[in-house]
Structure 1
Amino acid sequence: MSADDLYAELRPRAFAIAYRMLGSVGEAEDVVQEAFLRMHQTLGRDERIASPRAYIATLVTRLAIDQLRSARARRERYVGDWLPEPLVTDPSPADRAETADEMSLAFLVLLETLSPRQRAAFLLREVFDYPYAEVADIIGSDLDSTRHLVAKARAHVRERRPRYHATRRQGEELARRFFAAAEHGDLRALEALLAQDVVLRGDGGGKVPALARAINGRTTVARHLLAALSLVAPHGGVRIRIAEVNGRPGAMVLDSRDRLFGVLGLDIADGEIQAIHSIVNPDKLRHLEPVSDLGARVRAARRRHDGATGVGR
């Protein structure tokens, strides 16, 4: 098998592991690139690799553990809520690949509460179905310790994991109605689609205005969403493009020049929207589309508001 064929075969799994480990598209791409570079160097020295699949999984996992340890310190200083970099796919093709539930934004946020080694052991065993012995080899542990790591992580995840279930068709229809109501500024229609205790989380990373902490409640969340949209586009010009965000219904919010303001991901259950994830940190959106200067938009809107109301005179 040629090097190109080997890369094409192994890269999807390598990226899947790295992204679930790190919650960052850019960091996952860097880890995958480094892993394949090391494998190429090993093969270039005519060293034999018995199983390229296991070799790449080991390199990616260990590199991701190291990366996650250094990322932890940065995330502790993060401004506001930290949310993963979103993965967005077009929901229209009928033959699209199913995205695992373990890719959802809510699940990736939950994984942040595990230690790096717990996270690796749990993902390899519970998500990617590696045998315990192989997981132990990959993370450099003995079998008993690996079983303990997985069991502890499994119990932790099971206790805290939110349960959001809806068929793909139900989710898409609810998302379509929700984003149509948002575009039209229809507060009543928005409220009707939200669970009573719906939660809204925002990630601006200190780069653009965003929620300092999560808010909840049907009316509070609906009013905040409409206020945010009117602030960035007081005279219209916002377009909402329905998309699949980390395997769940969602949308991309764009300006009149098709530059990206933010990404919204929805968690749906029992015919209602239970949680909304709003990612507006431009550093987490650049891999998707050209990014709009949301901060400048908001500052200009506030100046217009202050001028109209006489604030500051």
Structure 2
Amino acid sequence: MPEETTETLRPLLFSIAYRMLGSVGDAEDLVQEAFVRHQRAVTAGTRIDDLKAYLSATVTRLAIDQLRSARVRRESYVGQWLPEPLLTDGGVGAWADESAADPAEHAELADSLSMAFLLVLERLSPVERAVFLLRDVFDYEYGEIAAIVGKSEANCRQLATRARRHLAEGKPRFEAERAEREQLASRFFAAVAEGEVDELVELLAADVVVYGDGGGKAPQWSVPIAGASKVAKLLGNLGRTIRNFGLVIEPREVNGQAGALVRNANGQLINVLALDIADGRVQAVRSVINPDKLRHLGPLADLRALPGSSSR
């Protein structure tokens, strides 16, 4: 087995940090801080027998501290808060999650990256979140987790059980067959682009909900909109905007699920859409247009220029 290094462990550490924080930039900063602390420890002569354990503990503890302060910021966030989108399809700008040889395991890891799952995790305390992720997603032993979070093994087992109970009702379901999910997503985005409201109604669950995150920095609906008819009309209007401004919908895998990027004619990013698909219908649509949450994906469009283009 090859020797573990900071670089070979980076994907795992990012995976933990991102699921804890829901922020790509914060997760990357946190992993880099863990590396800095490791180097300081080595320079000071500290003996580190297990690099993975040391860095996992450092990243998790930093994430717990940051989550505690983030709760206050999110309470004052303008509009709906959504995680920063992560591209996971291996295309340009995509980040590769830790690999899993078993397809079922890979699917489970993808589900734990979804926006829906990350939002459900918000119900947990920072320590509960850490214990649940380390045990149920990353398969750490309770002894390892206890050392990381500074609790007894018995306490960690209790925290994991409590976390599972809190998550039980809200844990999202996704289409089991990837091919079916992608086919439905393709029909969905084609209907959006053409503004086919009737077709959209057929593809949406009766209780579908659309969420938008503009963060007060970009135009976006400020409250969730529910119901197939309302959501179809809203998406039909989005399609009209796409056609009028010459925008392009680029299907991509977002946070392990079907999604798309919306770009202007110059290829600059405007927003990211992520879908929850189950039972052959789109159950939820999440749109992130806050530019602060999209900078890691490349050049962004100037949204203020769009109305000007319309008038011309």
Q: Give the TM-score normalised by structure 2.
A: 0.90
Q: Are 1:179 and 2:176 counterparts?
A: no
Task: Structure 2 unaligned segments of length 5 or more: list them.
Answer: 100-105
Shift of 1:228: 3.1
Q: Give the TM-score normalised by structure 1.
A: 0.90
Q: 1:22 to 1:38 in 2, by over 3 A?
A: same
Q: CA RMSD in A?
A: 2.2
- Partner Cα distance (2:194, 2:176) in 1: 25
Letter of the structure 1 residue corresponding to residue 8 of structure 2:
E
- Partner Cα distance (1:88, 1:281) in 2: 16
Match of 1:273 in 2: 282
- Partner Cα distance (2:245, 2:200) in 1: 18
Q: 1:212 to 1:181 in 2, by over 3 A?
A: same
Q: 1:294 to 1:230 in 2, by over 3 A?
A: farther
Match of 2:103 in 1: none
User: Any idea what SS the aligned residue of 2:176 has?
Assistant: coil
Match of 1:294 in 2: 303
- Deviation sequence 1:133-163 (CA, Å, 0-9, x none): 1111100111222111111111011122132
Name the stretch that deviates more: 182-191 or 255-264: 182-191
- Partner Cα distance (2:113, 2:307) in 1: 31
- The 5 Å alignment of 1:136-175 reads 136-175=146-185
Match of 1:13 in 2: 12
* Contact 2:192/2:238 (8 A) holds in 1: no
Q: Which of the numbers 120, 130, 136 marks the counterpart of 1:120?
A: 130
Match of 1:240 in 2: 249
- Partner Cα distance (2:278, 2:308) in 1: 36
Aligned residues: 299
Q: 1:118 to 1:53 in 2, by over 3 A?
A: same
User: Any idea what SS the aligned residue of 2:282 has?
Assistant: strand
User: Any idea what SS the aligned residue of 2:5 has?
Assistant: helix
Q: Are 1:253 and 2:252 counterparts?
A: no
- Partner Cα distance (1:25, 1:272) in 2: 29
Q: Are 1:132 and 2:169 counterparts?
A: no
Shift of 1:299: 7.6
* Contact 2:174/2:278 (8 A) holds in 1: yes
Letter of the structure 2 residue corresponding to residue 182 of structure 1:
V
- Partner Cα distance (2:230, 2:304) in 1: 23
* Contact 1:166/1:268 (8 A) holds in 2: no
Letter of the structure 2 residue corresponding to residue 28 of structure 1:
A
Match of 1:30 in 2: 29
- Deviation sequence 1:101-120 (CA, Å, 0-9, x none): 10011000111111111111
Task: Structure 1 unaligned segments of length 5 or more: list them.
Answer: 306-313
* Contact 1:182/1:190 (8 A) holds in 2: yes
Shift of 1:300: 6.8
Q: Are 1:49 and 2:48 counterparts?
A: yes
Match of 2:102 in 1: none
Larger Cα-atom Rg: 1
Q: 1:266 to 1:281 in 2, by over 3 A?
A: same
User: Any idea what SS the aligned residue of 1:88 has?
Assistant: coil
Shift of 1:298: 4.8
User: Any idea what SS the aligned residue of 2:209 has?
Assistant: strand
Q: 1:43 to 1:92 in 2, by over 3 A?
A: closer
